[in-house]
A and B are shown apart, each in its own frame.
Chain A
């Protein structure tokens, strides 16, 4: 038996944006297609003490990107990802798809799961005053690599090695005052105020620093947010975000912030360090899947650190080590990655991860302790 989960909003957007794509495709130039194929073979292990508890898994992923060539008046851009999950990953992918609303099909014995993600599909119209876009798109509102409290529209996928961000169904307007300053307005496409998230961002560049002020409303929590960010260079790269939350009922306030820095030595060693403070930590203890899905932030405890060190020992090969550390709950998520550009447009990645607990909440981790594997990605 095959079960299907369809997110209604995404389906509507698919139809709207698909029609727009077809219209634009009739213009001279047509569509530009690109994509990648990714094969992952890996294993999950419950603990070092019980090596028999190793479960093989893996996935094969096909990503297709499209954008119209003639972008004089408008742009239609889309990214679709089809993934076949096997072994230990199949039931995990099915469970995650159920909570996130992805298209999903699973074979009865859970030995394989197919997920279809529409990461981006939007129409953007260029007018003399502003660029207006509608549809599923990735809204990067902040400057943080991993922690970005100012970004209410998208969060990084912790299951992804590179912490990629997912798309949101939004309408967006970007009006520029100069080459480097402007006003951006974003709102989710929602059925009512209670599910609406809307934001305004005024951004600019002064003294070689990028900076912005942000105002936001989140209907699901009936709260107003005011924040700011900056990014610049003082010997090392520095950046930060600050957000004050004003909850309306009952009235309360709290602060979220992040500070980051990056640096390199001899063009070979690269360092990134980020600190995140959450003034509204979750009650310690285990949280259910629904609690996590509806949580006010991706990371729920008070203090977090993220450190990434990369050793680029040749133009083609590099080794990186990163760790997300929940300081309050003493939970860590370290990742080690070796990347090698095997041939033109093809990369080999060997990786390993350790989960000492749920990095989001600090609770005990229900899944395996270790994950390690090999990936090959080919772009076309």
Chain B
């Protein structure tokens, strides 16, 4: 199977990779930087235990889950914390379904629900549905160099080339040594800053550097931010393709 860019549920908008670079800086083009990022974070399958820490001012609520993804198009997450126990999300391409165990009900997420934060977090369902198609929708330029948390970074600017995008522009700070996007800003067409994400912890798994703790904040929600922690990350493990089906969702 072809190795694909990671786009596990909840991290869809955060682990940004491929694109079409046009400018050069410090000897690397945007294209080359994104290819290095892609090589660093690519996998066929991934399994991990996830924790969402949702901050609203000084208050925090945590949600736990077990997640499995295959390439960019298929993902399954099951929540394990008491309030949401047994609630599952299934992503197949651009479709997303939720299974509610208390009602034994499978609901296709569409319309207004796509704009809601997943389980009350700062990550919307639309974020989770983004795939590597995203990078076919942006032109990337290297706009300079900067430091994030003391680490030198390439600064990339991604401009939408099609209309069907959530964020018109994205600005990305990519670690020059580890090729991980340490920070990202997502803007509306008006230029308004909509979301900011930061990688708080990077783990070396084999010969790759993998972001395992990230924070995303919805700039439209005052005092709101969500930290996403991935633990016990297992890459390229055997996963049955049949688990990504509506039939399996209710099991």
Which residue on chain A has the smallest CB distance to residue B84? A379
B residues contacting the other copy or chain, number (CB 8 A): 40
Q: Does A360 sit within 8 A of B, measured CB to CB?
A: no
Stretch at the interface among A14-22, A51-59, A134-142: A134-142
Question: B103 contacts which chain A residues (CB < 8 A)?
Answer: 138, 140, 164-165
- 1/0 per position for A210-240, CB-CB distance to B under 8 A? 1000000000000000000001110111100
- The complex places the Cα of A139 from the Cα of B94 at a distance, in Å, of 26
- The complex places the Cα of A164 from the Cα of B220 at a distance, in Å, of 33
Question: A140 contacts which chain B residues (CB < 8 A)?
Answer: 103-106
Contact of A126 among B113, B218, B244, B251 (CB under 8 A): B251
Contacts A176-B247, A179-B245; is A267 near B115 (CB within 8 Å)?
yes
Chain B interface SS verdict (over half): mixed
A-B interface contact total, Cβ < 8 Å: 113
- 1/0 per position for B110-121, CB-CB distance to A under 8 A? 111111110010
Q: Does B190 sit within 8 A of A, measured CB to CB?
A: no
Which residue on chain B has the smallest CB distance to residue A182? B247
Q: Does A341 sit within 8 A of B, measured CB to CB?
A: yes
Asked whether B251 lies within 8 Å of A71 as measured between CB atoms, the reply is yes
Stretch at the interface among B38-46, B55-63, B173-181, B228-236: B55-63
User: Nearest chain B CB to A275's CB is how many angstroms away?
Assistant: 16
Which residue on chain A has the smallest CB distance to residue B104? A138
- The complex places the Cα of A231 from the Cα of B111 at a distance, in Å, of 10
Q: Does A266 sit within 8 A of B, measured CB to CB?
A: yes
Asked whether B115 lies within 8 Å of A379 as measured between CB atoms, the reply is no
- The complex places the Cα of A126 from the Cα of B103 at a distance, in Å, of 20
Question: A205 contacts which chain B residues (CB < 8 A)?
Answer: 95
- The complex places the Cα of A174 from the Cα of B61 at a distance, in Å, of 36
Question: A176 contacts which chain B residues (CB < 8 A)?
Answer: 245-247
Question: B95 contacts which chain A residues (CB < 8 A)?
Answer: 180, 205, 208
Which residue on chain B has the smallest CB distance to residue A234? B111
- The residues of B with any CB-CB pair to A shorter than 8 Å are 54, 56, 59, 61-62, 81-83, 85-86, 92, 94-95, 101-106, 108, 110-117, 120, 124, 218, 220-221, 224, 244-247, 250-251
Q: Which 3 A/B pairs are nearest by Cβ-Cβ distance? A: A237-B111, A264-B112, A233-B110
- Can you show 7 pairs from A to B with CB atoms below 8 A apart? A138-B103, A179-B246, A264-B115, A267-B117, A270-B116, A315-B117, A344-B62
- The residues of A with any CB-CB pair to B shorter than 8 Å are 32, 34, 65, 67, 71, 75, 77, 79, 120, 124, 126, 131, 137-140, 164-165, 174, 176, 178-180, 182, 205, 208, 210, 231-233, 235-238, 261-264, 266-267, 270-271, 314-316, 341, 344-345, 379-380
